Amino acid sequence: MAPFIRCATLDGYVELALSLGLDPARQAARVGLDVTDFAVPDRWIPAPPAVRLVENSAADSGAEDFGLLLAERRRLATLGPLSVVLREEPDLGSALRLLVRYEYSYNEALLLRLTEAGGLAAFRIDLDLGAAAPTRQALELGVAAFVGIIRQLVGPGWQAEEVCFSHGPPEHLRTHHRLLGPRLRFDAGFTGLVFAAGELTDPNVLADPLLRPYRPQLLQVVPPPRARSTADQVRELVETLLPVGRHSMRQVARALGLTSRTLGRRLAQEHQQFSSIVDDTRAAMAQRYLTADRLSLTDISYQLGFAAPSAFSRWFRHRFGTSPSRWRQEAQERALGAPGRPLPRPREAQPSASASVS
């Protein structure tokens, strides 16, 4: 099933489209959406057509900064009830962790990660649409929206050490510099923000200490976050460790402070197997990487932890029933609206002893 997003995610779309000479109703109908839904912030709509709407609008208007301009119209209240709680978080770190923990309460397609290493913090932003779709505008919208949130929380002068995008640069960077600052990095390994880890303790200027005791009551009006199972934790670690080839069960168990036997037992209690999680994670990452054309098949094979491109090709054909190059071609054709058969979906992973160490 495709993930859904709140219509508030498209707050300001109608006005922006009109200002650029577009017919918002026609643009919405083109991707199977009803523009009247956009006036109801708490209405949920499928994420893939919403993402295509933003991409099509950028192409049809000639505004390669469409996603950024849409983000500029966002307000903290776009997050819905969560925004009330966010305002009272004591510092930037707790606010970002709240956004990560409750990401499903405002956008089911978002994949957020906050990590710290070497004195730097990285706030990673990704999309899992469950289908091939161009995501450049949606990712730029997300990055600019989170930069705007951070500036509301800690001050308008906040700047990231680097604002990273996994896609290439646009022809003009004027809007990027105006909204995101001068430290832009394109064709990066991920999309998101890098800043000094010490800034996580920067106080939230919106917070009222007198309201902090009411935080538990405020959270009651927010849909509860998904419980993080052992399989969820393993999946996150595997995605991080695949590119460096350290994704064996023993290494993942050590990262969780467990023995391999204990990890296997906990996964079994959730009706999961480590090898299947590795295979499923690879399948999801492969689809994301192949949808973007900046990475070669050789690069993708190493990002997925394969020792050689030929091993990746064999695995991909077994999992998807087609070659990686053919899958990428069909994904690009569908992204451009060309007719064709549905993209091959990954077959159910078959547990194997080699999957945990390959």
What global pTM score does this model have?
Answer: 0.73
pLDDT in tens, 293-318: 677 899 899 889 998 999 999 999 99
Nearest alpha carbon to residue 136 among 60, 30, 55, 50: 55
- Residues of the chain falling short of pLDDT 70: 1, 131-132, 221, 223-227, 292-293, 334-358
Q: Which residue has tokens 């050689």?
A: 308
The reported pLDDT for the residue numbered 354 is 38
The reported pLDDT for the residue numbered 342 is 52
pLDDT in tens, 188-240: 878 999 999 999 999 999 988 777 777 777 777 676 666 678 988 898 888 88
Helix (H) or strand (E) holding 126: strand 120-127
Q: Are strands 110-117 and 44-46 parallel, antiparallel or unpaired?
A: unpaired
Number of Cβ within 10 Å of residue 170's Cβ equals 17
**Cα 224–Cα 226–Cα 231 angle in degrees, nearest 5:** 160
- In eight-state DSSP terms, residue 248 is S
Domains, the chain, in order of start with CATH, read: 4-219 (no CATH), 230-356 (1.10.10.60)
Taking the C-alpha atoms of residue 46 and residue 49, their distance in angstroms, rounded to an integer, is: 6
pLDDT in tens, 176-189: 999 999 999 998 87
Taking the C-alpha atoms of residue 50 and residue 278, their distance in angstroms, rounded to an integer, is: 30
Report how far apart, in Å, the C-alpha atoms of 210 and of each of 41, 105, 153 are.
29, 26, 17
What the block records as the tokens of 104 is 């499903």
Longest pairwise C-alpha distance within the chain? 61
pLDDT in tens, 73-87: 988 888 888 888 898
Helix (H) or strand (E) holding 234: helix 230-241
The reported pLDDT for the residue numbered 338 is 47
Taking the C-alpha atoms of residue 232 and residue 221, their distance in angstroms, rounded to an integer, is: 25
The reported pLDDT for the residue numbered 353 is 38
Taking the C-alpha atoms of residue 11 and residue 329, their distance in angstroms, rounded to an integer, is: 33
The reported pLDDT for the residue numbered 358 is 32
**Alpha-carbon torsion 183, 186, 189, 190, what sign?**
positive
**Alpha-carbon torsion 91, 73, 107, 339, what sign?**
negative
Report how far apart, in Å, the C-alpha atoms of 65 and of each of 129, 135, 332 are.
22, 13, 21
What the block records as the tokens of 311 is 């091993």
Taking the C-alpha atoms of residue 36 and residue 157, their distance in angstroms, rounded to an integer, is: 36
Which residues are registered as beta bridge partners of 123?
A: 114, 193
Q: Is 283 helix (H, G, I), strand (E, B) or coil?
A: helix
Q: What is the mean pLDDT of the chain?
A: 87
The reported pLDDT for the residue numbered 318 is 92
